[in-house]
Amino acid sequence: MLSYVIVEYLITYQETETQLSMAVIVKSERLEFLLETQRNYWRVKLSQIEARNKARAVDQKAMQRLKENYRKWEEQILEPWLKSSQELDKDFQTPSNIKVERVYTPLDIGNFDPVRDAGLPGSFPYTRGVYPTMYRGKPWTMRMFSGFGTPEDTNKRLKYLINHGETGISIAFDMPTLYGYDADSERAEGEVGKCGCNISSLKDMEILLNAIPLGDVSSSMTINAPAAILTAMYAAVGERQGVPLKKLRGTVQADMLKEYIAQKEWVYPPEAHMRIIRDMMLFCTKEMPQWNYVSVSGYHIREAGADAVQELAFTLADGFAYIDLGIEAGLKVEEFAPRISFFFNCCMNFFEEIAKFRAARRIWATVLKEKYGVTNPRALLLRFHTQTSGASLTWQQPINNVVRTAIEALAAVLGGTQSLHTNSYDEAWALPTEEAVTIALRTQQIIAEETGVTDTIDPLGGSYYLEWLTNEMEERAFRYFDKIESIGGVLAAVKAGYLQREIAETAYRTQKRAEEGRDVVVGVNKHVVEEEPPISTLKIDLKVQRRQVKRLKEVRKQRDKAKVAKALQELKNAYKNPDANSMYQILKAVKAYATLGEIVNIGREVFGEWTEPSLL
Amino acid sequence: MAAKSISKRTEQKKIRILVAKPGLDGHDRGALVLCRAFRDAGMEVIYSGLLPTPEQVVQMAIDEDVDVVALSLLNGAHMTAFPRVAELLKEKGAGDIIIVGGGIIPPEDRKKLEKFGITGNFGPGTSLKEIIEHIESRVRKERR
């Protein structure tokens, strides 16, 4: 019943065939050499892992004693117990289909080497954390993702959060901005300001960041297809505030690979977006050295339905693809790897999430060291932001979401996150109200300051179950890396629809499990109540669109038209020349008040638009 | 249980359904799950792919001669996009096509959408069974 069923009659409508222009990047000899010499890396790694699993424990005598003890326990204690009292009739497994045993003992991790596999905080392989003091030195950055309505609305919310102890800002943009349409575009109708803040030109960005000192705060912008344009706008506002580009700190998501895999907010075909990311990498390395230009994101992969193993594997595979991109562009891995950060989801299966974070750090450091030959420790660190899972929030009995978010946040902290966003309980209904967002922020503050979990580093390290699970997830991730490489890499796997189908398959399985009551969601398929009291939610009305359109018209009237036209023509030329760095022309166009839509459209003319392959 | 209801359905003409996301919204998890579930329930499923305009959705519905259009939006734009699809279908003389909706739709919007003949308007956590039964019951009424 759960078998894979192909929708036999299914059509994906395609617009005109997208013409891939010549402005794509060609694989360089540097990367070819690396790919050639490391062709069997994943296979070699898998056989090492298998050997590790089979290896015998160091202290055979102690192991023998444990085995004897375990056998006796089974015979004398467990079996009689089971005769009179059965275990629950449920599947003991993680959401990634990893079977969970009754109890874990040193026998399950008999080959565990505390030095090789765990290490110490701030030392290879960084399983226990990237810094030697972790939260004893500095708590994680409490960064609440926010944005709605007009730039004025979002500016007010950002300042509210800063005044309530938030330590970094994080901006959400609306759908037209994410897809590169101006507020007055036909495609933006009804969508302006709904899912985030609307930005149509530099003017909006100036208002959004008004009186927020960009020299002091670090900012995160969740934007992908137009990431280079928003980075340029941020830089332009920074300059106006008198902050040199070299001093600007922050992160722009710019992870297009996961857009094709999961979030699906793209404009151009993959090669074109990868080329623009390359330009941004080169620009930032030179001009904005404190700017993290790619935040490799598993969050959206998970929300689209992936399980924890898929999130781990696909995200790190994307990370390696960006490393390859930097090498192609002529950058040294040692120098640019520290500017690549990660962004993970944190769902409800507590231990699986913690194991995921630990495995992620170990895999990243190991592969960078072994496959890419990195020696500089700073370039081995997998630093990440976490957001608690939006998909785990329920529409039903919404106050329960406060509890879910708290548990997920705790797992992220025990997993060693560098920054954290906690969702608000009302987000299955709408964008959060100020009251709900305050509770979400307080949740982090309570974990940081009341629970004591931050007093010692990786307090669950050494747990038989957790170490076993960390190994298990690592191995499963390597199997995916090998599979993805056999398809021809991440881009080929996206074009073949492989990664998208893997996720859709898991999403369907998850939904079926919930429907059959095999996975419990409190308030949805168990402990259901009839009456649902409505909660008050944030409303975005159409006035936002009218205001944004009005401002856009003023911008168009006041700017120097010749200057805009010239900048856009120069950008077009840069896009057509695969060796040019388009980032300088984007910055110029932004400063001339070319609108977001106008700039994105230049790329539409040169690169065409992307249509996804049929998935079902 | 599912097998029984499918065999019962095969006695009738199969329901043709277009699953569509009429807007700037890449959240396709629910739409893709529904495509599979509708197929499992014996329907002929057509998926719009991502980012069609309401105009394109209506054209697809007419070209494909569907019984039902299932609209999904999680970006808050349902009050603009869903009624637009309903109006355009009427304009083009295809007002008999059933429209159902789903997404992040507040209770107060549901009533407004129903005035346009858009029913269901299911929120997160709705069971596939409930959605399928709703569609089947509307089709039965329409075909009577």
Integer Rg of chain A from CA: 25
Query: Can you spell out the DSSP letters for A559-611?
Result: S-HHHHHHHHHHHHHHHH-TTS-THHHHHHHHHTT--HHHHHHHHHHHH----
How far is residue A312's CA from residue A266's CA, in Å, rounded to a whole number? 22
Looking at chain B, which residue has its C-alpha nearest residue A180?
A: B24
Question: Residue B23 and residue A190: Cβ atoms within 8 Å?
Answer: yes
Q: Which fold has domain B14-134?
A: Rossmann fold (3.40.50)
pLDDT at position B108, please?
Answer: 87
Categorize the per-residue pLDDT at B1 as very low, low, confident or very high, splitting at 50, 70 and 90.
very low
Q: Are A266 and A285 in contact (CB under 8 A)?
A: no
CB A198 within 8 A of CB A191: no
How far is A199 from A186, CA to CA, in rounded Å? 16
| Whether B63 contacts chain A with CB within 8 A | no
Residues A25 and A578: beta-carbon distance below 8 Å = yes
Chain A interface includes B62 (CB < 8 A) = no
Cβ(A243)–Cβ(A232) under 8 Å?
no
pLDDT of residue A39: 78
How far apart are alpha carbons A298 and A407 in whole angstroms? 19
* CB-CB neighbors (< 8 A) of A522 in chain B: none
How far does A426 lie from chain B, in Å, by closest CA?
11
If we measure between CA atoms, which residue out of A455, A452, A427, A453 comes closest to residue A439?
A427
DSSP lists the bridge partners of residue A143 as A168
Distance to chain B for A424, nearest Cα, Å: 15
Q: What pLDDT, on a 0 to 100 scale, did the predictor assign at position A168?
A: 80
Q: Which of A16, A175, A609 best probes binding to B when mutated, by most B CB atoms within 10 angstroms? A: A175
Does B8 reach chain A within 8 Å, measured CB to CB?
no
ipTM for the complex shown: 0.86
CB neighbour class for A47 (10 Å; exposed up to 12, middle 13-18, buried from 19):
exposed
Determine the pLDDT at residue A145: 86
Task: Give me the pLDDT at residue A28, please.
Answer: 64
The stretches in chain A having pLDDT less than 50 are 1-26
- B24 vs A contacts (CB less than 8 Å): 175-176, 178-179, 181, 187-188, 191
- Can you tell me which residue has the tokens 């222009």? A21
Does the domain at residues A114-515 carry the CATH identifier 3.20.20.240? yes
For A29, residues 6+ apart whose C-beta sits below 8 A from its C-beta are none
Q: How far apart are CA A223 and CA A147, in angstroms?
A: 12
Instruction: Decide the pairing of beta strands B118-122 and A294-297.
Output: unpaired
CA distance A518 to A95: 11
Q: What's the pLDDT score for residue A541?
A: 80
In the beta sheet, which residues pair with residue A149?
A197
Nearest CA in chain A to B81: A190
Cα–Cα distance between B136 and B98 in angstroms, integer? 11
Q: Is the pLDDT of residue B68 over 60?
A: yes
Pairing of strands B16-20, B44-47: parallel
- The DSSP code sequence of A40-94 is THHHHHHHHHHHHHHPPPS-HHHHHHHHHHHHHHIIIIIHHHHHHSPPPSS--B-
- Mean pLDDT rounded to a whole number for chain B: 91
CA A376 to chain centre: 25
At B129 the pLDDT is: 94
Q: What is the mean pLDDT of residues B27-55?
A: 95
